[in-house]
Structure 1
Amino acid sequence: MLPNGAIASTGCCRWCCDYINRRPSPLVAYWYGPDNAEFRRFVRGTRSGGVARNDFAAQMIPSAAPFGGVGRSGTGAYHGKAGFDAFSHHRTVVGTDLPFTITGRAAPPFTPSMRATTALGLRLARNRTRRRLRRSR
């Protein structure tokens, strides 16, 4: 259980949607299950800043995707192009069918290959940020 969050193991999408909609809109709604009609009903039937399917915090990874909340969880999304669309809300919906979670690599224990992969990712992100800063001058 997370602050202002709930974990429900249920086959009733309507119950989950009602439960979420009776409370302040969450920053992110998490769905663990297949990308099927029930998942699409969940996305359409709830109000949240974004939706992540089968992974935790994956909605923040795509650099061009908007990230932000609605209602009490925040207003607007200032990430990538969304900075120009500040007065509208483009909801991010991400998901994975991989046998592992991308964000699962962010928690110990860290193997040598995980450390190397993380170092490479940070180096690439740093270089991309430097290029963007040079272009903006």
Structure 2
Amino acid sequence: MYIFGETSNKRRAGVDSLLIELTDRALAMMYRKGHCDMTIPLWGGKRSAEEQFKIFQQGNSELDGYEDKSYHQSGLAIDVIPYVNGKGTYKFIEGFFDFAQCMFTVWANMVAEGKTGSYVLEWGGFWGSTGWDKPHWQLVKKT
């Protein structure tokens, strides 16, 4: 069975408990379906304004962490990437789509269980014409 390792769990510190449960259940489903393992990359969990600004400066986010804040800063976002051959990778696109299928299946189950409260789930894989942020998952308040 796949479970997040010690490093991934440290990186999830401060992330909303709903996202923790969701990612745990989706990862277990990945194993049952015979898909790849997943991991949390550096700064994939809750971020400080300084960490968000570094990511912004590197061109990996449109949000600077000060004027434009990321959902990561409130613990309402998490990044999850495929773990292949002993390391995390952004290049195994099939792994992102397999995980997305598991995430949305588990989310639907959690909605049916009444666990999602006033949140909707968003995936960065749907953003733009290329789904430019496939690792990113966030909880957004229903309007």
State TM-score, norm by structure 2. Answer: 0.24
Q: Tell me which structure has the larger Cα radius of gyration.
A: 1
> Quick check: which one's strand share is greater?
2
Answer 1 or 2: higher relative contact order, Cα 8 Å, separation at least 6: 2
